[in-house]
Amino acid sequence: MLTIKQQELLSFIQTRLEEGGVSPSFEEMKEALDLRSKSGIHRLINALEERGFIRRLPNRARALEVLKLPEAMHRNAPKVITPPKPQLVASAPIAANDVLEIPLHGRIAAGVPIEALEGQNMLSVPAALLGSGDHYALEVAGDSMMEAGILDGDFALIQRTDVAREGQIVVALIDDSEATLKYFRREGPKVRLDPANSAYEPQIYDPQQVRIQGKLAGLLRRYN
């Protein structure tokens, strides 16, 4: 069952596809649904994708395809447009590039742990860099992940999660006070956080000392 906003967005996307063969931009969706930010649209699209109503077309810049429409859309007609009849859509439109704003939480150490997740500014990120789920950004401090291509001053784009698989690059919160960006490993009953720089030693902790705060989803780098 979809929420009213999810139905409104799905109906708006479907109508734009039928009218011009091109899915709307995030800015157009935000205005149509009268939302304050494009991050709200991002969450709605993730929810529709997870429920199988839309999909993102591969190798295209944020192209969307409507797979189905719910029966409930007829009972809860959205304010944006009059919803079309349920149907499968086989078109493959190309959408415009979009930019999302995600929270920027301070600096995170790629060397030794430092305090992280302080304050909350916003960082504009090309939407194509982000997949499904909720995201935030951290500015990298240090060089211990340089052999993984993560450099001092980069912006790490993090997908929120509290679990990690062996070998993933994660944000690990240590003793509920300090966070670091490292490879996640297990060593017997311990948790090992590995750097990607031979000049640094792995960090080994008891499992109760470490909480996963997210996994690396992408990087942004500025060139001056």
Catalytic residue among 144, 177, 198, 215: 144
Q: What is the pLDDT of residues 108-120, one digit of tens each?
A: 876 655 445 555 6
Long-range pairs, 27-30, Cβ under 8 A, ≥24: 27/98
Decide: helix, strand or coil at residue 61.
Answer: coil
d(CA 182, CA 202): 9
Q: What is the pLDDT of residues 118-168, one digit of tens each?
A: 556 788 888 777 777 888 888 898 898 999 999 999 999 999 899 999 999
Q: What is the pTM of this model?
A: 0.56
- CA distances for 157 relative to 10, 29, 133, 196, angstroms: 27, 23, 12, 18
Q: Name the DSSP class of 148.
A: G
* Secondary-structure class of domain 99-220 per CATH: mainly beta
Q: What is the pLDDT of residues 73-102, one digit of tens each?
A: 544 444 443 344 334 343 334 344 567 788
Residue 144 annotated in active site: yes
- CA distances for 164 relative to 31, 96, 172, 194, 223, angstroms: 36, 33, 10, 14, 31
Residue 182 annotated in active site: yes
Residue 30: partners with Cβ closer than 8 Å, 6 or more residues away: 36, 37, 38, 40, 41
Phi, psi of 162 (to 5 degrees): -115, 10
Amino acid at 78: P
* 186 token code pair: 């297990």
Q: What is the pLDDT of residues 4-56, one digit of tens each?
A: 888 888 888 888 888 777 788 888 888 888 888 777 888 888 888 888 888 87
d(CA 208, CA 176): 10
Q: What is the pLDDT of residues 175-198, one digit of tens each?
A: 887 889 999 999 999 999 999 999
Domain 4-75 sits in CATH 2.60.120.260: no
CA torsion 122-222-180-147 (nearest 10°) is 160
Catalytic residue among 182, 190, 198, 215: 182
The ranges assigned to domains in the chain are 4-75, 99-220
